[in-house]
Structure formats: structure tokens, C-alpha cells
Chain A
Amino acid sequence: MSDIKSLYSDKVMDHFSQPHHMGTLENPSGVGRVGNPVCGDLMELQIKIGIRNGKEFIEDARFQTFGCGAAIATSSILTDMVIGKDLEDALKVTNKAVTEALDGLPPVKRHCSVLAEEALEKAVEDYREKQIKK
């Protein structure tokens, strides 16, 4: 076959082939579900919040995704980027950072990185709501 150009970067294909931190947590502190199967993507991020030096931090995270290669890769890399971070720093992770970490996404797929950012926000929102209820 002649030379071909890949649809996605090597990093995206890595995450797509061997996703990091997929699945569910035993007792998640917060769960964020974003997207819509009608639109073709649905992401669920589960986070475990711990306390380190008096600050909240993301101890662990797991994701499940119904979606294209970019959706799966962005969810996977997001978990890498937030695990171990202080909560306030994790919330600063932008969709742009997610895209860059993946060595870029095709323009039509950039909205998937927005989904990843929103999943984290929702998971943290859920955690806060659960805290208020306690």
C-alpha cells in the first residue's frame, strides 16, 4: 500500500488501544455523566477524593465512554492528568490542555475534549452536592 496519513495522532491511538483507568470505583466520591447517546457520545467519570496536607485531592479516577476514538482517548488522558492533583488544580485542566496532551485532535473531534473537561466539572459538582447532604 502507498503512504497513508493517520486519522489520529500516535498518542490518541495509544490511549484508544490501551485506555488508562477504565471502569468504575468501589465508592466514588463523585460521578459526572456528560454527553448523550443520541449525539453519539456519553462519558462517565468517577472520582475518589482524599485529603493530603489538609487539601482535597483526586486520589483515583475511572472512566467509561460510549463514543468515537477521540472520545475514548480524551477520557483516558484526562484521568492521567487529574489523578494525584489537588482538586483546585485538577479543575484548571482545560480542554485545550487535553488536546495538546494528545498531540492534537482533528478539528471535527475537538468537541470531545470539551466533553472530558465537562465530565470532570460534573463529577466535582456531584461530590460537592454529596458533601452538603452529609
Chain B
Amino acid sequence: MKVYLDYAATGPIKPQVKKAIESFFDEDFGNPSSIHSWGRVARYAVDSSREKIAKFLEGTLKKGKTEISGRVIFTSGGTEADNLAILGSLKGVKSDQKPHIITSQLEHHAIINTCKQLEKINEAEVTYIKPNNEGIIEVFEIEKAIKPNTVLISVMYINNEIGTIQPIREIGKMVEAVNEKRIKDCLKKIYFHTDAVQATEYLEMDVEYLHVDLLTISGHKIGAPKGIGALYIKKGVVVKNNVFGGEQEFGLRPGTENVIGIVALGKAVEILQEKSDEVNKKVIELRDYFINRVIDEIPEVVLNGSKELRSPNNANFYFKYIEGESILLNLDLAGIAASSGSACASHALEPSHVLMAVYDNAERAHGSIRFTLSEETTKDQIDYTIEKIKDIVQRLRNLSPLAPKSLKTI
């Protein structure tokens, strides 16, 4: 049996998305900037997609509105959208003081490394808020860190590794309240950005509900191809371009549009809009079945991150006494795909910064495996996976100098 449980890394293109982009390969291949009919077809496709996504994020139809107020800018993916959010909004700040950014220690490297780069070249000061021991960033910690020169707060919606859901709406409301006071004190408004890449498939994405100014989405996490993403920019929020060239994307992201990617992203969002709550409920049930069985049936295994405030599709476990890459290799031999927080499994040979931020324990990072499901995952696949995990854990514990004799079978 082949079981793919690494949906947080990426997933297949959904069949309806594949269908929607077919004509753009050899019929509707025009450059959207061209005046002729080929160009106009492509232009219409890009604009429709943009409208679809903006309406989805603004909840336009639900609220009985017709007008869109914010803007959706297409990028090469979540990473580029994150870069545009941070670097672009910073460029729009006019101040003699060095700007201050607040973000979290849980963020994806697209956020963290952009911030670190700004620190390196002395263009910003950054505070990285530590999560609590459940893997959640607390609103009051962010509020405490706000300074007169704070210009941007960026906190991810769902953490990609341990799946914990961050209090985005609460942070957004806090930022709005703070901003009201700041205006009175002649201080600049703080923008609030969220990297919603992992949340788009499953959670409420209405930007008004979330109280966000900037929001990142990524195509390949919602059934569109890799290489496409978008940044939503609320009306009035000033963002400058990071890429220089022509005038596409309102000058914010020049370059001939990735029409196929854009059409795919629009279709993927349309599918989400039509998705029933039942589907998410099923994923949550299967996830909980998986988590409960693994914790109950295998000794010395714990869940990483809050059980309640958790992405519907994430099950991240710490298997004591054994190492992540060897677990992954064994899973791969059994036809199962997952990922790990272990240093050995990473390109950088460093343990997961997320697990380190929450637990401060490298051994825990080395022994952790992330399984992420989708609506395509079946109970049979989970049952098979659980049996394989049991075998693998036993084999590796028999091999480990750290495992106590009571856990060995040889």
C-alpha cells in the first residue's frame, strides 16, 4: 500500500483544477498584456481569478456585497508573498527611526529568514515571540512587545510543523485597539500580516473576521500547482514592490503572469468555497482516530502541540528513544510518506526550530514525525500506517542504546 501523509509539504493538483487549466496549454496561451484576442482571453482569465480570490477572502458573496475593496497580488508562491508582505510594507514606512517588527519563533523560514536578513543589514529590529508549551503564541506577549516604532506584526495562522492554530482574530482585534490609541498619540498604524498557507484549506479565511491587513496563500497546499501564491492587501495598506520590471500586478510584482498558475489558484479557491463542513469534520475524525490509537497503543509516544487548537489534518508525534530520519526511511520502505523535525532529515542538519522553540529539547526534535492527512486519506490507510509504525518503533527501539530494556523485545 502506498500512503501519502505529507500534505503539509505539498499535495496533488485537484482534478477540477487540472481540467480548468487545460485550455491554457495550447489554446489560451496569450500574454495577458497583449492587445490582441489571445492576450485578452488570458487577461480575462487572470482578472477573474483575482476577483474570485478577493471575493473569497473578503466574504463578498456571503455578505451580499458586490464590490471588492482590497487587492490580490499573484506571486511565485507563499515564500515570495511573505517576502512582499514584510519587505514591501517596510519600504512603505516613512520614518527616521529604525522600524520594529514583531513575529514569532514558530514562523516558516520565509518569514524568519526575511526578518533575520533585515536585522543583518540593520534595516529593522525584530522581536521573535516564544510560543507557550502548547505551541501557541499568546496575544498578551505580542501586545507587551509593541513599541512606538513597531510597524508590522506577522504571525502564521496554522503552524506547518506541529499544526497549532494561532489566535489570529484575537491578535487582529488587539492590533486594531492598539492602533486606535496610536493614532491619538500620533504614532504610525501597525500592520498585521498572517501567513495562512496551511490554514487556507481548512479554516475561516475572511480577512474581516480575522482582522488582518495582509494575508499569504499558497497554491500547492490547496490543490493548485507549485509555483503560485498570492498576497492579499487590505485597502489603504501601503506595500511597495520587491521585484523590478514592467507594470504587471499593479506594479507590485512585475513579470509576465503565470496564467496557468493563476487560473489554477482561482479554481482551487472556488473549490474551497463550495466545500461542505462535512469534509473537514471527516478529516478531523480520522486525525483524532489516528492520534488516539498511536498514543494508546504505542508506549512512550506523545503528541507535539496542543490537541485542541490543532489543524484538522496534523498529527505530529514524539517517539522517545529513536531518531526521525531512520523512522522516515523505514516508513518510506513501507510506502508511507511523512516528515520529521530531526536534524538528520533536514538539509541544514539542524533540528526543527519550531520544536526547539516549544520544547527546547533537541532530542525531542530528533525523535518527532509529522503526519498530515487530507480528505483523500482513508481509514484503511491509517490502520495500515499504525501497524507499520508499531513495527518500526519496535525495531528501532531494539536497536537504540537509549531505550530501556523494558521496551525492547530482543
Taking Cβ atoms with an 8 Å cutoff, the residues of A that contact B are 7-8, 13, 16-17, 19, 22-23, 33, 37-44, 64-72, 108-109
Contact = CB atoms under 8 A, between A and B. Distances in A.
Contact of B410 (A23, A41, A42, A68): A23
A38 B363 contact: yes
Interface string B326-355: 100100010000000011110101010000
A39 B347 CA distance: 15
A13 B324 CA distance: 16
A21 to B, nearest CB: 11
Could you say which of B326, B347, B351, B401 has the most chain A C-beta atoms within 10 Å of its C-beta?
B401
Nearest to A17: B333
Size band of the B side of the interface? 20 to 34
B33 interface: no
Contacts of B344: 40-41, 67-68, 70-71, 109
A67 B326 contact: yes
A66 B343 contact: no
Contacts of B410: 22-23
Interface string B370-410: 00000000000000000000000000001111100000001
Contacts of B317: none
B325 interface: yes
A91 B260 CA distance: 61
A40 B327 CA distance: 13
A68 B326 contact: yes
B191 interface: no
A42 B362 CA distance: 13
A68 B362 contact: no
Nearest to B350: A40
Contact of A108 (B321, B324, B349): B349
Given A68-B345, A108-B349, A39 B399 contact: no
A16 B325 CA distance: 12
A72 B326 contact: yes
B323 interface: yes
Could you say which of A17, A19, A68, A69 has the most chain B C-beta atoms within 10 Å of its C-beta?
A68
26 contacts: A8-B329, A17-B333, A22-B398, A37-B362, A37-B402, A38-B362, A39-B343, A39-B362, A40-B323, A40-B324, A40-B366, A41-B344, A44-B401, A64-B401, A65-B400, A66-B322, A66-B401, A67-B323, A67-B326, A67-B344, A68-B329, A68-B342, A68-B344, A69-B329, A70-B344, A72-B399
Given A41-B344, A42-B402, A108-B349, A66 B321 contact: yes
Contacts of A42: 401-402
B400 A64 contact: yes
A33 B400 CA distance: 12
A19 B333 CA distance: 15
Contacts of B322: 66
Contacts of B326: 16, 67-69, 71-72
A39 B342 CA distance: 9
A65 B345 contact: no
A44 B343 CA distance: 20
A64 B323 CA distance: 13
A44 B321 CA distance: 14
Contacts of B363: 37-38
Given A68-B323, A68-B326, 19 more contacts: A22-B398, A23-B410, A37-B402, A38-B363, A40-B323, A40-B344, A64-B400, A64-B401, A65-B399, A65-B400, A66-B400, A67-B325, A68-B342, A68-B345, A69-B326, A69-B329, A71-B323, A72-B399, A108-B349
Nearest to A112: B344
A40 B401 contact: no
Given A17-B333, A37-B402, A40-B343, A66 B362 contact: no
Contacts of B366: 37, 40
Contacts of B347: 108
Contact of A64 (B345, B349, B362, B399): B399
